[in-house]
């Protein structure tokens, strides 16, 4: 089931990926109060953000000019993102076209503020702003979810699909273990990260690292149902099976 794949993917990520400590260190040392007030964000904070991005092989330009352009972009999109403060994948309403439009505009502003369009880095930047809502992606993950690296696809396709995954994983866990939603979320995020980050870890292990363990955990029930004598697929076109 998906919930099992999510758990296995997150565990694999933390056990075998060498860089999770960079994420924890960045968020531990981040001055959240400063980031809530765009006028208080310094170039030093932007420099730390870019260093964090490049610890994950983003290859983001870290010149003084790029730092200033990124800082300006972050300040411009703050009014669009501030209403989303505290919003999570489970609480956001993607049927609200204004929310989708604001996310798209924020993504586009940040992604295009430098000399090249930074789709992967922008998803990471947005995640640092609202870690409970924005899910990171990379080329492998985009290919797996049949989306492009555009602001529109991020806001109108990728994030809504991540919300569907979050709802399904939590719902499966609630039903399988007879627990409340809060307990299900807590158990799915035992690493201490948000559900949005855990889904990124699942995606990364499944699609970027291509780990069979994640696929097997997610599909275990489906595969067991195909064991001889348990389930037989219907004949094509609804035709009656012949003995």
Tell me the two tokens of residue 226.
């195909």
| Mean of pLDDT over the chain | 90
Per-residue pLDDT at 220: 81
List pLDDT tens digits, range 169-205.
999 999 999 999 999 999 999 999 999 999 999 999 9
Q: For residue 231, is it within any domain? A: no
Q: For residue 228, is it within any domain? A: no
List pLDDT tens digits, range 51-95.
999 998 889 999 999 999 999 999 999 999 999 999 999 999 999
Residue ranges of alpha helices (H) inside the chain are 2-16, 20-29, 32-36, 43-55, 64-81, 97-111, 119-129, 139-144, 151-153, 159-177, 181-188, 195-203, 212-225
Per-residue pLDDT at 141: 97
Contacts of residues 49-55 at CB distance under 8 Å and 24 or more positions apart, as own/partner, are: 49/125, 49/128, 52/22, 52/23, 52/26, 52/124, 52/128, 53/121, 53/124, 53/125, 55/19, 55/22
Q: For residue 218, is it within any domain? A: yes
Residue ranges making up the domain that contains 126 = 2-223
Domains of the chain: total: 1
Closest C-alpha to 140, from 201, 60, 203: 203
Per-residue pLDDT at 34: 80
Distance between CA 166 and CA 126 in Å, rounded? 18
**Residue 221 above 60 pLDDT?**
no
CA atoms within 13 A on the CB side of 139: 3
Rounded to 10 degrees, the C-alpha dihedral 119/145/137/223 comes to -170
């Amino acid at each position: 089931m998906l919930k099992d794949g999510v758990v296995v993917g997150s565990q694999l990520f933390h056990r075998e990926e060498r860089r999770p400590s960079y994420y924890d260190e960045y968020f531990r040392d981040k001055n959240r109060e400063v980031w809530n007030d765009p006028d208080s964000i310094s170039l030093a904070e932007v420099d730390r953000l870019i260093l964090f991005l490049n610890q994950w092989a983003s290859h983001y330009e870290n010149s003084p000019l790029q730092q200033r352009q990124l800082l300006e972009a972050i300040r411009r999109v703050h009014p669009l993102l501030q209403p989303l403060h505290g919003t999570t994948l489970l609480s956001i309403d993607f049927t609200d076209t204004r929310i989708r439009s604001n996310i798209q505009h924020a993504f586009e502003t940040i992604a295009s503020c430098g000399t090249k369009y930074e789709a992967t880095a922008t998803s990471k930047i947005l995640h640092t702003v609202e870690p409970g809502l924005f899910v990171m992606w990379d080329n492998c993950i985009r290919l797996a979810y049949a989306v492009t690296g555009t602001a529109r696809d991020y806001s109108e396709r990728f994030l809504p699909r991540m919300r569907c995954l979050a709802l399904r994983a939590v719902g499966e866990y609630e039903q399988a273990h007879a627990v409340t939603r809060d307990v299900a979320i807590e158990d799915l995020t035992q690493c201490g990260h948000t559900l949005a980050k855990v889904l990124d870890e699942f995606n990364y292990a499944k699609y970027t690292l291509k780990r069979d363990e994640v696929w097997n955990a997610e599909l275990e029930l489906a595969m067991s149902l195909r064991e001889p004598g348990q389930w037989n697929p219907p004949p094509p076109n609804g035709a009656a099976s012949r003995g």
